[in-house]
Amino acid sequence: MIPYKIVGTSRYRPYVAFFVTVANVAAFAYILVYAFLGGLSLEKVYSLYALDICAVREQALLETLIDGARSIFLHMSFLHLTSNIIIFYVFGARIEEHLGHLRFLAFYLIVGFGGHLGHILFDGGQCSEPLYVIGSSGAISGTIGAFLFLFPTARIKSKIVILNVFKYDVNVPAWVYLIYWFVIQFFYQVGSVAPRINVHWGHVGGFITGLALIFLVSLFIAPPRIPRG
């Protein structure tokens, strides 16, 4: 089930959502090329760039922030990347329309770190070896949480493809994608190119952060008015 559009038209151009999507693809390509040209394993490359949640208590705050920001744009496999950017662009574009460009960029980074915090709080005690946080799953979960809070009755245009033979277009309620998102994340580690880590708490941390943040924003900051047509 592949989402591709929110039901209802909009003339808004989600520049930040587009930039973030391109940045995620570019980061994945860079990691692959860097590993190939340097003769390094992908696990080694990720250990150089990703946030190690077991090292957070020992390293400087600035280093943690830099590693954490990079981790939001890294992915473990092509399946991990594509599932994230498709869902992010569909849901993120409407959140960007609601918040505006700069607020949405800040929102994306904050909920991404909310996902990291979920890992640190619940996985950080399991430190017999480094545990690297890789992926924008926390940020995506936060975006979905915000979308469900703002647009719980929205319907999502989706395509169901079976063996590239049977193709169906359906309109799916937004809440279905909460279930869909959490389910597919337990499958993207098949064929993973990165150190494996329990992704569950990153999703929970990002989702809760997204809900809390959009609730606060909705109370105190009026969203920009965007013409529709």
Reported as a single tens digit per residue, the pLDDT across 150-165 is 888 888 877 776 655 5
pLDDT at position 154: 82
Q: Is the pLDDT of residue 64 over 50?
A: yes
Residue among 98, 68, 108, 59 nearest 210 (CA): 108
Please tell me the CATH code under which domain 2-220 is placed: 1.20.1540.10
pLDDT at position 59: 86
Q: Is the pLDDT of residue 47 over 90?
A: no
Asked whether 197 and 76 are in contact (CB, 8 A), the reply is: no
pLDDT at position 164: 59
Q: Kindly indicate the confidence band of residue 185, based on its pLDDT and cuts at 50, 70 and 90.
A: low
pTM score of the predicted model:
0.82
Give the phi and the psi of residue 169 in degrees, each rounded to 5: -105, 130
pLDDT at position 190: 43
Q: How far is CA 41 from CA 6, 48, 81, 186, 195, in A?
A: 40, 11, 19, 24, 11
pLDDT at position 125: 58
Q: Is the pLDDT of residue 5 over 90?
A: no
Residue among 80, 67, 90 nearest 151 (CA): 90
Q: Kindly indicate the confidence band of residue 15, based on its pLDDT and cuts at 50, 70 and 90.
A: very high
Q: How far is CA 108 from CA 111, 143, 201, in A?
A: 5, 7, 17
User: Which of 29-33, 103-107, 154-158, 189-193 shows the lowest per-residue confidence on average (mean pLDDT)?
Assistant: 189-193
User: Which of 7-21, 87-101, 213-227 shows the lowest per-residue confidence on average (mean pLDDT)?
Assistant: 213-227
- The two tokens of residue 87 are 């869902």
Q: Kindly indicate the confidence band of residue 18, based on its pLDDT and cuts at 50, 70 and 90.
A: very high
Query: For 1, how many CA atoms within 13 A lie in the half-sphere containing its CB?
Result: 16
User: Which of 26-30, 138-142, 164-168, 200-204 shows the lowest per-residue confidence on average (mean pLDDT)?
Assistant: 164-168
pLDDT at position 189: 45
